[in-house]
Amino acid sequence: MTTDRPFLGVLLMLAFCVLAPLGDSMAKLLGGVVALGVLVFARFAVQAVMLVPLVWAGGQSLRLPRGLLGLTLLRTALHITGIGLMFSALRYLPLADALAIAFVMPFIMLILGHFFMGEEVGRQRMAACAVGFIGTLLVIQPNFVDVGAPALLPLGVALVFALFMMVTRRVARALDPIRLQAISGVQAVLLLGPVLLLMPATRGDVALDATGWGLLLALRVIGTLAHLFMTWSLRFAPASTLAPMQYLEIPIGTAFGWLIFSDLPNGLAAVGICVTVAAGLYIILRERRLSRQHADAPAAV
């Protein structure tokens, strides 16, 4: 079993927080021209193509240890559902709004980690999550309710990915991250492939130029790398430690929204972004200090 190294886990989650909104930006660009089924299938197909050869080259097998088949299938199903919901939301909502609404997820994850996995949640972590959650509420645009039913999609994303993170935490300690992601990619292809073949409406008509195909490939590679980093982070740190870190996706996503779509939050949302960044930075500094104290402990004995 891998020993917890919280600061390393935080750094890996930070990499995820940069890559995930970048991938969402590309998905939003492609959402109007590529069917949802193709976007999701391509995401996992490229993941399998990238990682299966690495698993074999390392002398490992895709065969699962006893007792993990059900958990990995559940994880893959949650992953497919979460990505599908997020890509759907991005077709209707600005990037910053979709991320802001979805970011009740770290709070849900913290509570699930405490009650269902027995993870310790101290007052400082709970306070940081509460502050981050308040910041999230400030980021949500007051008029998002005018979008209608699609505004509820990020709430589904939040719940699904909170459960996904809990399952990943269980599985990541037993499987190497590359092996786990390779298995997940293969499982998703086997699950989604028949759906695309038997239901033409799910694949639509793909008519992309070279730039479009390049964006589609880049989206898949970035998505694979992002979730590798996320899986690695959960291998080294509890979900309750990493939960506040994910609030950093909001300001990072807002930056991408401004650079790519010229979308900027209003003044209230900007205050919320500052609050979430402060909560995330507090966790980074605190975990770094605790990691140093733990590393220095043997020398002091």
Give domain limits for the chain.
6-294
State residue 203's pLDDT score: 62
Q: For residues 274 and 248, give the distance between their C-alpha atoms in angstroms, rounded to a whole number.
A: 10
Q: Are 249 and 121 within 8 A, CB to CB?
A: no
122 or 270: which leads in pLDDT? 270
Which helix (DSSP H) or strand (DSSP E) does residue 15 occupy? helix 6-30
CA dihedral 245, 169, 118, 296 (to 10 degrees): -60
- Provide CB contacts within 8 A for 243, sequence distance 6+: 106, 107, 109, 110, 113, 125, 129
Q: Place 206 in a pLDDT band, splitting at 50, 70 and 90.
A: low
State residue 282's pLDDT score: 76
Residue owning tokens 């609050």 = 275
Digit-coded pLDDT (tens) for 18-31: 998 998 898 888 87
Q: Residue 2: left (phi > 0), alpha (psi -120 to 50), or beta? A: beta
Kindly state the average pLDDT of the residues 231-260. 80
Buried-state track 237-258, b at ≥16 Cβ within 10 A, e below 16: bbbbbbbbbbbbbbbbbbbbbe
State residue 201's pLDDT score: 61
Kindly state the average pLDDT of the residues 243-249. 75
Q: Are 198 and 5 within 8 A, CB to CB?
A: no
Q: Are 236 and 294 within 8 A, CB to CB?
A: no
Q: Is the pTM of this model over 0.75?
A: yes
Q: How many residues does the chain have?
A: 301
Report which of 14, 9, 26, 10 is spatially closest to residue 221, judged by C-alpha positions: 26
Q: Distances in Å between the alpha carbon of 4 and those of 42, 178, 297?
A: 33, 19, 15
How many percent of the chain have pLDDT more than 90? Answer: 12
Q: Place 204 in a pLDDT band, splitting at 50, 70 and 90.
A: low
Residue owning tokens 């500052």 = 274
Is residue 124 over pLDDT 90? no
Which helix (DSSP H) or strand (DSSP E) does residue 49 occupy? helix 36-57
Q: For residues 94 and 40, give the distance between their C-alpha atoms in angstroms, rounded to a whole number.
A: 20
Digit-coded pLDDT (tens) for 5-61: 778 888 888 899 999 899 889 888 887 777 888 888 888 888 898 889 988 988 888
Q: For residues 288 and 294, give the distance between their C-alpha atoms in angstroms, rounded to a whole number.
A: 10
Q: For residues 29 and 261, give the distance between their C-alpha atoms in angstroms, rounded to a whole number.
A: 9
Kindly state the average pLDDT of the residues 97-108. 78
- Rounded to 5°, the CA angle 267-270-276 comes to 150
Is residue 186 over pLDDT 90? yes
Q: Are 38 and 141 within 8 A, CB to CB?
A: no
Residue 243 sits at φ, ψ, to 5 deg, of -55, -50
Kindly state the average pLDDT of the residues 143-169. 80
State residue 136's pLDDT score: 73
Q: Place 142 in a pLDDT band, splitting at 50, 70 and 90.
A: low
140 or 260: which leads in pLDDT? 260
Q: For residues 139 and 268, give the distance between their C-alpha atoms in angstroms, rounded to a whole number.
A: 7
142 or 127: which leads in pLDDT? 127
Q: For residues 273 and 247, give the distance between their C-alpha atoms in angstroms, rounded to a whole number.
A: 9
How many percent of the chain have pLDDT more than 70? Answer: 83
Q: For residues 153 and 36, give the distance between their C-alpha atoms in angstroms, rounded to a whole number.
A: 14
Structure tokens at 118: 């027995």
